[in-house]
A and B are shown apart, each in its own frame.
Chain A
Amino acid sequence: MLIVVQIVLLVVVVIFSLVLIRGGSNAKHMAIRRIMVLLFAIAAVFSIFFPTILTQLASMVGVGRGTDLMLYAFIVSFLVYMSTTHQRFRQMETTLTKLSRRIALDEAVKPWEAVLAPDERVAGPDDFRFRAKTVSEKK
């Protein structure tokens, strides 16, 4: 029974690590993250087969049980995850803003361009707006 639980945990850890390793942007950050994930995976595998080691490590750093150590590690990694996700979210927002702005500006009518067109030169400012309106209505 124990061996089944150990195998399941091992699979979960491996999948989790693979997911974490994939993706990312900055090469340096990615390398650091991969090293950390690798260390975490090794530690996780060891703790599956030798649970006492984790407890020994925990008592060494003075947090009592191994599960407590895991909890603290989890909290830290969760906070790191939150901050990187937040950063990535903001990056994405900036990208989306730039994209939307470009689309908006490209689609917008520009009355002053009509001023430059020689055959439109006779018209007043109101006529440009009128012309702009008809152009946009055609779409």
Chain B
Amino acid sequence: MSAQKLESGRNSPLCDTGIVSRTWIVIPLFNEAPIIGSVIKDLLPVFPHIVCVDDGSTDTSAEAARAAGAVVVQHPVNLGQGAALQTGFEYVLQDPEASCVVTFDADGQHRVADAEAMVQRIQSGEAEVVLGSRFLDGRTRLGPMKRIVLRTAALQIRWSTGMPLTDAHNGLRAFNRQVTSNLHLTQNRMAHASELIHVLSTLKPRWTEHPVEIVYTDYSKSKGQSLLNSVNILADLLFR
């Protein structure tokens, strides 16, 4: 039975060698019940190990994620996306076989193929950290205002950390185990993206950017952060 399963089942040579190493997908989840099920279903054939960190959702997100086949770790109260990511990292690190961690957004704006390629670059030993960037190719279509804000944020990051990033606020990232164990995110809310880069700039791992496509569906557009949120990101950073 088990042998059959291993043969016929989803044993992608990339990430799930079954016994030796595992790649975990970490999805911070907050009130995404309508879409989380399909996001997980898309991921499962490639990445069988998915943990959704439910950040105190008030809808049925946790049930939907569990039904779709993910492990759900539930914050008893809402803490923020940064806290959810850190919880996800700590959960994955408890797994002695975990070798690679990918952060993935719950609203379906990332592509599984991109994540797969990023994990491949980690496992080939090319890099310890692979950060997704929507500005490395022309696939992602962006409004001019959003483009300006994201570019400015990336420029500010480059200026303050010396890391030549093109896209600082991309939720699709891959880390190897060693780097993950050294990430201790303390910014609970949205400033964790900048904090993460600052931590990386002190850890100095071998890192690279990978071109990813952000799929702006009607759903993610309706939920997406407004431009005003960049003010919050800035304030969180200044007054920490």
Chain A contacts to B: CB under 8 angstroms: 86, 90, 93-94, 96-97, 100-101, 103-105, 107-112, 122-126, 129, 132-133, 136
Contacts and interface: CB of A to CB of B under 8 A. Distances in A.
Interface of B: 1-2, 5-6, 9, 16, 18, 48-49, 51, 53, 66, 69, 71-77, 79, 83, 86-87, 90-91, 94-97, 186, 188, 239-240
Contacts of A123: 1-2
A52 to B, nearest CB: 42
B102 to A, nearest CB: 17
B71 A111 contact: yes
B8 to A, nearest CB: 10
25 contacts: A93-B188, A97-B188, A100-B75, A100-B83, A104-B73, A104-B74, A105-B73, A105-B94, A108-B73, A109-B71, A110-B94, A111-B71, A112-B97, A122-B2, A123-B2, A124-B1, A125-B9, A125-B49, A126-B5, A126-B48, A126-B69, A129-B69, A129-B71, A136-B66, A136-B72
B87 A104 contact: yes
Given A94-B186, A96-B77, A107-B74, A112 B96 contact: yes
A54 to B, nearest CB: 35
B1 A122 contact: yes
A81 to B, nearest CB: 16
A104 B5 contact: no
Given A97-B79, A132-B71, A105 B87 contact: yes
Contacts of A111: 49, 71
Contacts of A126: 5, 9, 48, 69
A105 B2 contact: no
B19 to A, nearest CB: 9
B79 A105 contact: no
A101 B18 CA distance: 28
Contacts of B79: 96-97, 100
A118 to B, nearest CB: 14
Contacts of A109: 71
Contacts of A125: 9, 16, 18, 48-49
Nearest to A107: B74
A139 to B, nearest CB: 11
Contact of A108 (B5, B71, B96, B97): B71
Given A100-B79, A101-B86, A125-B18, 16 more contacts: A96-B77, A96-B79, A104-B75, A107-B74, A108-B74, A110-B95, A111-B49, A112-B96, A122-B1, A122-B2, A124-B6, A125-B48, A125-B49, A126-B5, A126-B48, A129-B71
A96 B87 CA distance: 13
Closest 10 pairs (CB-CB, A-B):
A124-B5, A108-B73, A112-B95, A104-B73, A101-B87, A100-B75, A122-B2, A104-B75, A97-B83, A124-B2
A94 B73 CA distance: 19
B56 to A, nearest CB: 8
